Amino acid sequence: MTTSDLWDEATAASYDEASAAMFAPDVLDPTVDRLAELAGEGRALELAIGTGRVGIPLAERGVEVVGIELSEPMAEQLRRKAPDLPVTIGDMATTQVEGTFALVYLVFNTIGNLTTQDEQVACFANAARHLGPGGRFVVEVGVPALRRLPPGQVAIPFDVSAEHVGLDTYDPVTQQAMSHHYSREANGSYSYWPHHFRYVWPSELDLMARLAGLRLESRTADWRGAPFTAESESHVSVWRA
């Protein structure tokens, strides 16, 4: 078992609603378009497939999709929507499934759910084990926002609204971080949900890829292919076997 936070039944039941913005066509369609292009006629493996936000529409495009998911409640939510999409319960750093794939991918900052460098290195190795010759590993993840963290400040807000306040706290020594979610419920009460993650730099990911025998093929700022620059807040990176 990895150090990743484990999504429970309550979190899984509300995940799609809480992440509604990520299901919007202008967000999801470019993601699926690019992944379908990279998969071509081959199979795709999604690590941490969750409730199937990306895996289900990708399968609907005709790509054979297989998933690995740590949380049984999250996988159950997916099965209710797409019972024929196969999901193996296990961690993305070590769990293996049968066969080889043209594409292995991780979206929406999920590489950070592995909260140690060793586990992130193991994840790259696991992805490489599943790739056939010329196959690709794709990771979508944010660039650490440390440039926005002045001396003495411990938190960076990433969402502030009447319904939700989100703050990230960072430890620049260990690269451990935490997202703090404060949400207003329908009954007027407030809930708090923390999420632990390990932030990782693009160059660090490239080294993990090299250790796994993969080479960087492309890096863009988003799924539409915008150039990655020093001002980019996230990146979509593709490494090839």
**How high is the pLDDT of residue 209?**
98
Q: Is residue 140 part of a domain?
A: yes
pTM of the shown model: 0.92
In the predicted model, what is the mean pLDDT of residues 70-83? 95
Q: 190 pLDDT exceeds 70?
A: yes
Euclidean distance between CA atoms 122 and 86, whole angstroms: 23
Same domain, 54 and 115: yes
Identify the CATH number of the domain in which residue 174 sits: 2.20.25
Per the structure block, which two tokens stand in for 128? 């490489």
Average pLDDT value for the chain? 93
Same domain, 108 and 209: yes
Same domain, 174 and 78: no
Q: Give the type of residue at 194.
A: P
Euclidean distance between CA atoms 41 and 111, whole angstroms: 26
**How high is the pLDDT of residue 230?**
94
Same domain, 83 and 63: yes
Same domain, 136 and 174: no
Q: Which domain holds residue 43?
A: 9-144+200-240
Dump pLDDT digits (tens) for 47-68.
999 999 999 999 999 999 999 9
Same domain, 53 and 152: no
Q: Is residue 62 part of a domain?
A: yes
Euclidean distance between CA atoms 55 and 57, whole angstroms: 6
Dump pLDDT digits (tens) for 143-184.
998 888 888 888 888 889 888 898 999 998 899 999 998 888
